[in-house]
Amino acid sequence: MAGFIEKKNILSAGGVSLEDIAREHGTPTYIYSADHIRGQFEALKGAMAKALPKNKQPLLCYACKANSNVAVLSLLNGIGSGLEIVSEGELRRGLKAGFDPQKIVSTGVGKQRSEIEACLNAGIRQFNVESLPELEFIDKIAREMKKKAPVVFRLNPDVSGGGHSKISTGRKRDKFGLSADGVFRAYTMAKTMKNVEPLGLSIHIGSQVFDVKAFEKAFAKLPALVGDLRKEGFTVARLDIGGGFPIQYNDEKLLDLDAYAAWVRDIIVPLDTEIVMEPGRYLVGNSGALLTKVLYVKETQDRNFLVLDAAMNDLIRPTLYEAYHAIEPVKNRNAAKKVYDVVGPVCETGDTFGTDREIPEVREGDLVVIRSAGAYGFSMASNYNTRPLPAEIMVDGDQSALIRPRQSYNDIIDQDIVPAWLKR
Ligand SMILES: Cc1ncc(COP(=O)(O)O)c(C=O)c1O
């Protein structure tokens, strides 16, 4: 697990003891390795630098739905990343982290008035437009604000990609993007509009895309379309080729970054546009672990259950996507192995992190990490069962810092309002 090291049979985060973190901040707590995030960013940037000409280097816009803690955003901003956002909240976080608005792209099928206004006020790089009504709405708002909105049109390439049906976004039946015809209609409509400026296309086929050929298949749809659009006199100066790069949760075969970069070089570069990419999971997924404590070891006739103090509200991926996350004890890592079902306390059978997991024997009170939890972990956490959101810690070499405190019960409960007419 990158950023996490095993020494003398104990797992630590960089030079920081996980036991110390648990003692000081309690559990469950998310821990992210700054080193790992930097390493991933440099690996992706490096693969592109090697394969693509200097003047065609992509702008890497971190898709912060994966992990939007402002400390994570600040780290990425500091090393030259741009930002992909899907909401006004993410825009606000990005601006707070110091991102240049010209490096921010706004995506999503349901952009609302307030977020379009906020993006126009900030002066973002572009809106990735997903439908004709959205185009009309952006034009209308920009007109009211006396601004011109830079837009690119998201092509739905009808290519299946993504590690799970729920995170595949490039099939014809998915809600995302426009068909090639739709893109033509959007460009044609935009000709009649004064407050949008069409600049190109975007594409994003899904997340955790294992089938690396899917990227090539999707990219291959672009040259003909770009050629046809240009023949009609439409501007195609930008191509946003999305995210979706997979990470290793278990024993998956990783994307060959060099092969990916070669497709970008062979298919995208000849189209002579600016290039944007939107990696999310790849940059942060394996930087993180969810540190949790064993509440009980419950042995029944059929199963051994490890009941953790983390639950599906803290990390929903296993139950939502049937996702695999490795689970490991922090100490006694070479104890004899035992088979467990690893579960949380929530009253649903779906609150299960892993079934039939063979791991070194653990006891009540022991610390356990759920690995690869840096992406779509905290950012998808909820207050289900009135459980406070976990704390978040960033580790960088020998130093660590609390980057978000554990939510308090008052934070949650004080939001509820009992109507006066119910009070006696
Ligand atoms: C438009 C868009 N871009 C980028 C991403 C990031 O995907 P990933 O985290 O797989 O790189 C997503 C994920 O849902 C997305 O919808």
Nearest to 381 by CA among 4, 50, 29: 29
pTM: 0.96
Residue 251 to residue 372: CA distance in whole angstroms: 12
Residue 213 has what pLDDT? 84
Strand, coil or helix: 169: coil
Domains of the chain: 4-33+285-413 (2.40.37.10), 34-283 (3.20.20.10)
Ordered per-residue pLDDT tens for the chain, 424 residues: 468 999 889 999 999 999 999 999 999 999 999 999 999 999 999 999 999 999 999 999 999 999 999 999 999 999 999 999 999 999 999 999 999 999 999 999 999 999 999 999 999 999 999 999 999 999 999 999 999 999 999 999 888 776 667 767 777 777 888 999 999 999 999 999 999 999 999 999 888 888 778 888 999 999 999 999 999 999 999 999 999 999 999 998 888 899 899 999 999 999 999 999 999 999 999 999 999 999 999 999 999 999 999 999 999 999 999 999 999 999 999 999 999 999 999 999 999 999 999 999 999 999 999 999 999 999 999 999 999 999 999 999 999 999 999 999 999 999 999 999 998 7
For ligand 1, atom 14, the nearest C-alpha belongs to: 207
Verify whether ligand 1 is closer than 6 Å to residue 238 (CB atom).
no
Amino acid at 222: L
Residue 7 has what pLDDT? 87
Residue 201 has what pLDDT? 98
Nearest to 342 by CA among 381, 384, 312: 312
Are the C-beta atoms of residues 288 and 67 closer than 8 Å to each other?
Answer: yes
Residue 374 to residue 372: CA distance in whole angstroms: 6
Residue 2 has what pLDDT? 64
Omega before 28 within 30 of 0, i.e. cis? yes
Strand, coil or helix: 76: helix
Amino acid at 17: S
Report the run of H or E that residue 153 belongs to, with start and end.
strand 149-154
Cross-strand partners of 327:
370
- Which atom, in ligand 1's list, is nearest to the CA of 243? 11
Verify whether ligand 1 is closer than 6 Å to residue 285 (CB atom).
no
Q: What are phi and psi of 165, to 5 degrees?
A: -55, -35
Residue 163 has what pLDDT? 66
- Which atom, in ligand 1's list, is nearest to the CA of 128? 1
Verify whether ligand 1 is closer than 6 Å to residue 66 (CB atom).
yes
Q: Say how many Å lie between the CA of residue 59 and the centre of ligand 1.
A: 15
- 64 classed as catalytic: no
Residue 165 has what pLDDT? 73
- 37: Cβ–Cβ under 8 A, 6 or more apart, which residues? 72, 75, 76, 283, 284, 287, 374
Nearest to 281 by CA among 250, 243, 316, 254: 243
Verify whether ligand 1 is closer than 6 Å to residue 130 (CB atom).
no
Q: Say how many Å lie between the CA of residue 416 and the centre of ligand 1.
A: 33
Residue 172 has what pLDDT? 78
Verify whether ligand 1 is closer than 6 Å to residue 63 (CB atom).
yes
- 394: Cβ–Cβ under 8 A, 6 or more apart, which residues? 31, 32, 33, 34, 69, 71, 72, 75, 400, 401, 403
- What angle (nearest 5°) sits at the alpha carbon of residue 392, between those of residues 313 and 27? 65
Catalytic choice (61, 64, 119, 347): 347
Residue 243 to residue 205: CA distance in whole angstroms: 8
Largest CA-CA distance found in the chain, in angstroms, rounded: 73
Verify whether ligand 1 is closer than 6 Å to residue 207 (CB atom).
yes
